[in-house]
Amino acid sequence: MKHTALLAALALTCACVAGAATVHVQGAGGRWIEIEAQTDGDVVSFTITPEQAAEGRALVVINKPDWMVLDDAEAPRVTGYRIGDESIELGPEAAIDLGAIGDDTRISLEIADNANPIDVGSLALQVTGGADAVFEVTQDDRAARTAVVELDLGGLGPGAYDGAITIADLAPAGNTAELPIGFSIFGMETTPDGQSIRIAAGGAGFSVNGDPRQTVTVEAAGVSAYPTVQIGAPYLYVRDFTQVTELEPVAGWHGMVAECALEDIDGNPMTNEEAGARIQLMVAAHPDQPVVVVSTEVTNLGDARDVYCFWGWLPGANYVTPDGETHEWSMEYRDFGHAGWVYLAPRDSAKPGVGWIAPGVFGESRFGTMILYTEPTRIAVATGDTLSTTFALMPADGPDAVGDAAQALAQFEGILGE
């Protein structure tokens, strides 16, 4: 009889076969049948006909344990979770949204299955931008087909995370459930190369980078702003970070300051002495506010002269001002004054928009992007003096969220340099 090639999943309960082995095959139509087997020492032999292996595939279980239910195509489910003192029950098609996690980064998951025990070793957390979480099985009741597993998310570091928890049962096919999860861990940390500051605040994630075109990134929106500085002849940009220093928290705000190496518009590196300027970036975040506050500090190292400093070029499908009016891009350079904030609608509907909050002057570019200027745009700066510009960025689902954040920031005196 012709033998078919098998792509078989074998469920083995022991390394050696004692006595006669049993063999069950799931063939065409998903029906399980027991077939004849021969045992010779540790070798189990059996024959599968082409009719029992549709398209050359069959699922085989050797020596089925008493507890195993073969006819099981239903995945396990996470019935609830506990974080801190709060317990949450989950129904079908549920998702976990932990929001901003505080000091307790451990979450306990309650898992159940209708037919087979839980495969606790299969539990995995898959999130963008993070390493594996630490798991600990605190309960595994095979008879009740339940388990409790604790995850410690603290090792992921500061950031906003979206992904899924996956868990399988011990059915022959290893039915797997996928549970969406989202959370953020407050904090600021510098990457090992010293070129990026990862920030999570109020459930939002940001990065501040030693990069001339992606200096401040709103992670969820996937857009970046960067500064342009003209002091004397050259246009200057952030080339990389030479040093990042953590600041002492003030009134709940955590901060870092980055010393910037510079380059000109052609990408040529320039020393501070060649540029006649020193540029620092100061960033601040608060655990309750979904924003990053950024200050550009430009110190004039040369003779008294004008400094031209602006940030850009944030894209959007359109933008909304505090009066509620939606504006289409004029595709020309046009300033519209001290709006206080703007909401930039996303070009990609799968992502949030961006809120830009600042006391400076907002304006459109001819490329359909937003720019933030000082007023006046060119400011006289004496030798050794510093020009500062400050703003906040955030991901936002609409203009109301930006307006609320602007009001919240107004309660923190001086945070936006006013």
CATH of residue 129: 2.60.40
pLDDT attached to residue 54: 72
Residues 264 and 399 in one domain: yes
| Same structural domain, 131 and 275 | no
Confidence of residue 37 (pLDDT cuts 50, 70, 90): confident
- Sign of the CA dihedral with 329 first, then 335, 339, and 341 last: positive
196-201 and 204-209 as β-strands: parallel, antiparallel, unpaired? antiparallel
The whole-number pLDDT of residue 46 equals 87
**What's the CATH number where 196 sits?**
2.70.98.60
Share of the chain above pLDDT 70, in %: 94
Q: In the prediction, which pLDDT does 49 show? A: 82
Give yes or no: residues 386 and 306 share one domain. Answer: yes
Mean pLDDT calculated for residue range 69-73? 91
Instruction: Specify the pTM.
Output: 0.75
- Token readout for 214 is 């992606």
Q: Are both 159 and 285 inside the same structural domain?
A: no
Number of domains making up the chain: 3
What per-residue confidence (pLDDT) applies to 129? 60
Say if residue 406 is in the same domain as residue 278: yes
Whether 68 maps to a domain, the answer reads no
**Per-residue pLDDT tens for 285-294?**
999 899 999 9
Residue 38 and residue 127 share a domain? no
pLDDT(110) > 60: yes
Domain of residue 286: give its range: 187-410
Same-domain pairing of 115 and 58 = no
Average pLDDT, the chain: 89
Residues 214 and 318 in one domain: yes
Does residue 1 form part of some domain?
no
Q: Is the domain of 331 the same as that of 387?
A: yes
Question: Which range (2-11, 70-79, 94-103, 407-416) has the least confidence?
Answer: 2-11
Q: Is residue 34 a part of any domain in this protein?
A: yes
Mean pLDDT computed over 219-244: 94
In angstroms, the CA 42 to CA 38 distance is 11
SS3 content of the chain, % helix, strand, coil (to 5): 5, 55, 40
Q: Of 184, 217, 232, which residue sits at a domain end?
A: 184
Q: What pLDDT is recorded for position 130?
A: 55
Q: Are residues 235 and 282 both part of a single domain? A: yes
Both 272 and 399 in one domain: the answer is yes
The answer to whether position 229 is within a domain reads yes
Looking at the fold, whether 262 and 315 belong to one and the same domain comes out as yes
Q: What pLDDT sits at residue 27?
A: 76
pLDDT for the residue numbered 335: 94
205 burial type by CB count under 10 A (0-12 exposed, 13-18 middle, 19+ buried): buried
Tell me which of 184, 205, 222 is where a domain ends: 184
Is 312 inside a domain boundary? yes
351 within a domain of the structure (yes/no): yes
Report DSSP letters for 61-72, one per residue. Answer: EES--TT--SS-
User: Of the residues 169, 184, 199, which one is the last residue of a structural domain?
Assistant: 184
Q: Does residue 227 form part of some domain?
A: yes
For residue 1, what pLDDT is reported? 32
Q: How many residues does the chain have?
A: 418
In this prediction, residue 24 carries a pLDDT of 92
Name the residue with higher pLDDT: 160 or 312.
Answer: 312
Closest CA to 13 of 67, 65, 68: 65
In a domain, 203, yes or no: yes
